[in-house]
Amino acid sequence: MISDLITVAIVLSAALLAYSAHRPVLAALRRFEARNAERRMQEFKSSMDRYAHYRQTVQFVDEQIEPVAPVTTRDERTGDPVTRYLFLGTWYGTLKDAEAARFEVVVEKAREFYLDLDHVFLSRWRRRPTAALSDPSKHQTRTPPKG
């Protein structure tokens, strides 16, 4: 009889505990589903956008490049604390300058990726002409047949 009462008390305690925890669990599941729906929508938009692979490449490279680090140091002239920005070992006075330098590095890395793709997947004859072939006298010209 007492063991039955203890069993019922344990079951009711577990039920109350589960009921009290269901809202945070449901909220986490809703956030997970919302992220999945957003990802699926972005994939759908990307499938319709012919330039999406460029954006995705830049986003991927952006994740690989280190962020700009704000560092508080003493000013050389006044000794007052100032915020400088460090990116790839170079100090910048403003966040805008540091972010611009970072963006240039990101774009350059993305361009290198596409140049590597050209070298790997395009035949020698389909590649873009290099700077050495930019002389017009070296280009072959053809005249269309008359008739």
The yes-or-no verdict on residue 65 having pLDDT over 70 is yes
Q: Extract the tokens encoding 45.
A: 């938009």
The string of pLDDT tens digits covering residues 20-63 is 887 888 899 999 999 999 999 988 888 888 888 888 888 899 99
Q: Model's pTM, two decimal places?
A: 0.55
Number of neighbours of residue 12 by Cβ within 10 angstroms:
10
The yes-or-no verdict on residue 16 having pLDDT over 60 is yes
Whole-number Å distance between alpha carbons of 97 and 86: 10
| 70 φ/ψ angles, rounded to the nearest 5 degrees | -80, 130
Number of neighbours of residue 74 by Cβ within 10 angstroms:
10
List the helix and strand counts (H, then E) for the chain. Answer: 3, 3
Amino acid of residue 53 = H
Helix or strand (DSSP H, E) at 135 = none
Q: Extract the tokens encoding 17.
A: 């505990």
Residue bearing the bigger pLDDT, 120 or 133: 120
